[in-house]
Structure 1
Amino acid sequence: MMTSLFDQFASPTLLGIPLIFIAVLTPWTLFPTPSPRWLSNRLITVQTWLTSRFTNQILVTLRPHGHKWALLLASLMLYLITMNVLGLLPYTFTPTTQLSMNMALATPLWLATVIIGMRNQPTASLAHLLPEGTPIPLVPALIIIETISLFIRPLALGVRLTANLTAGHLLIQLIATAIYVLLPMMPTVAVLATTIFFLLTLLEIAVALIQAYVFILLLSLYLQDNI
Structure 2
Amino acid sequence: MTLSLFSQFAPTYILCIPSSMVAIFIPWVLFPTPTNRWLNNRLVTLQNWFLVQLLRELFLPMKPEGHKWALMFISLAVYLTFLNLLGLLPYTFTPTSQLSHNLGFAIPFWLVTVIIGFQNKPNEALAHLLPEGTPTPLIPILIIIETISLFIRPLALAVRLTANITAGHLLIQLVAKGTLALLSIMPAVAVLTMTLLLLLTLLEIAVAMIQAYVFVLLLSLYLQENV
TM-score (norm 1): 0.97
Whichever residue aligns with residue 76 of structure 2, its letter is L
Identity of aligned residues (%): 63
Q: How does 1:1-227 map to 2 (within 5 A)?
A: 3-227=3-227
In the alignment, the residues of structure 2 paired with residue 184 and residue 42 of structure 1 have an alpha-carbon distance, to the nearest angstrom, of 43
In the alignment, the residues of structure 2 paired with residue 183 and residue 3 of structure 1 have an alpha-carbon distance, to the nearest angstrom, of 24
Cα displacement string for residues 140-160 of structure 1 (whole angstroms, at most 9, x for unaligned residues):
000000000000000000000
In the alignment, the residues of structure 2 paired with residue 159 and residue 61 of structure 1 have an alpha-carbon distance, to the nearest angstrom, of 26
Aligned-residue CA RMSD (Å): 1.3
Cα displacement string for residues 179-217 of structure 1 (whole angstroms, at most 9, x for unaligned residues):
111111111111111111111111100100100010011
Displacement, 1:17? 3.0
Displacement, 1:2? 9.4
Matched position secondary structure for 2:89: coil
In the alignment, the residues of structure 2 paired with residue 150 and residue 81 of structure 1 have an alpha-carbon distance, to the nearest angstrom, of 26
Displacement, 1:225? 0.9
Matched position secondary structure for 1:61: coil
Unaligned runs of 5+ in 2: none
In the alignment, the residues of structure 2 paired with residue 45 and residue 140 of structure 1 have an alpha-carbon distance, to the nearest angstrom, of 54
Displacement, 1:15? 4.1
Displacement, 1:220? 0.5
In the alignment, the residues of structure 2 paired with residue 185 and residue 37 of structure 1 have an alpha-carbon distance, to the nearest angstrom, of 57
1:3–1:130 Cα change, 3 Å: closer
Displacement, 1:39? 1.7
Matched position secondary structure for 2:101: helix
Matched position secondary structure for 1:93: coil
Displacement, 1:3? 4.9
Matched position secondary structure for 1:215: helix
In the alignment, the residues of structure 2 paired with residue 43 and residue 203 of structure 1 have an alpha-carbon distance, to the nearest angstrom, of 23
Matched position secondary structure for 1:133: coil
Matched position secondary structure for 1:225: helix
Whichever residue aligns with residue 65 of structure 1, its letter is E
Contact 2:113 2:223 in 1 (8 A): yes
Cα displacement string for residues 20-42 of structure 1 (whole angstroms, at most 9, x for unaligned residues):
11100110111122112222222
In the alignment, the residues of structure 2 paired with residue 193 and residue 39 of structure 1 have an alpha-carbon distance, to the nearest angstrom, of 44
Instruction: Count the aligned residue pairs.
Output: 227
TM-score (norm 2): 0.97
Matched position secondary structure for 1:189: helix
Cα displacement string for residues 57-87 of structure 1 (whole angstroms, at most 9, x for unaligned residues):
1111211111011101111110010010111
In the alignment, the residues of structure 1 paired with residue 137 and residue 200 of structure 2 have an alpha-carbon distance, to the nearest angstrom, of 51
Which one is further off, 164-173 or 25-34? 25-34
1:115–1:3 Cα change, 3 Å: closer
In the alignment, the residues of structure 2 paired with residue 2 and residue 135 of structure 1 have an alpha-carbon distance, to the nearest angstrom, of 50
